[in-house]
Amino acid sequence: MKNLKFQEHLNRVLLDFSPDQHLLIVSKTRTLDEIRAYYDIGHRHFGENRVQELLLKSNELKVSCPEIKWHMIGHLQSNKVKDLFKVHHLESIHSVDSIHLLDELIKNEHRLNQAVGIFLQFNTSREEEKSGFETIEELELAITRLKNCQHLYLQGLMTMGALRVDDQMKSAEACFRELAEVKAELDQKWDLDLQLSMGMSQDYKIALAEGANWLRLGTMMFDISGD
Ligand SMILES: *Cc1c(COP(=O)(O)O)cnc(C)c1O
């Protein structure tokens, strides 16, 4: 019964997605049973924003969800990198927000035995409390750093819409459009095909329209009692 509800909801959400757009279900604060409910109906990509919670959940679900793919989406402190790399089935890191953090990841990549995708977080909203790269030049420095890695590879760019603005939707649109422009510029100059990680529950339809490849959806995937 419960799975049917999740299945119907998932199907409805995915109706708007094109083949190169992927749903990342953000399972932070959610229970193992809630994660398993989506896993059991075939969903594989899940995101967490804290290393300890991610590590714990990846351990707990290692046996019952062998095909799960974990994404780290939250701010990452350099001193948590070693723990992050212990996560089973770590697929990618969406929140690489500085050269300093990137260097720490590279320094520790020998601990990995699988490929892990890196998304460089770009601060399109320019809000001070948001972290992230702020110029194309900084992103290019990161791109060159990633060229010689063994396990880490450049997967794409990530951003978040502004929070403290009058018209959040209009602002989200501007942020997502800017990220798409940055992608176009870097793709051309460096011969890349960067993926875009953008869009949360409240603004994901805008992100879909602006060419997002990874939609990070939490609240709307779990608080579904109303529909
Ligand atoms: C929590 C979180 C999300 C999901 O937000 P919802 O509003 O619950 O969909 C997406 N991205 C990041 C970085 C988050 O921390």
Cα–Cα distance measured from residue 20 to residue 194, given in angstroms and rounded to the nearest whole number: 12
The encoded tokens of residue 184 equal 């176009």
Best substitution site from 123, 129, 197, 200 to test ligand 1's pocket, by max atoms within 8 Å of Cβ?
200
pLDDT value of position 4: 84
Best substitution site from 25, 29, 49 to test ligand 1's pocket, by max atoms within 8 Å of Cβ?
49
pTM (2 d.p.): 0.96
CA dihedral 145, 128, 208, 76 (to 10 degrees): 50
Each residue of 175-196: pLDDT tens digit?
999 999 999 999 999 999 999 9
Residue nearest to atom 7 of ligand 1 (CA): 201
Give yes or no for residue 200 CB within 6 A of ligand 1.
yes
Q: Which residues pair with 217 in a beta bridge?
A: 25
Place of tokens 């459009």: 177
Mean pLDDT, range 100-114, rounded to an integer: 98
Mean pLDDT, range 165-175, rounded to an integer: 88
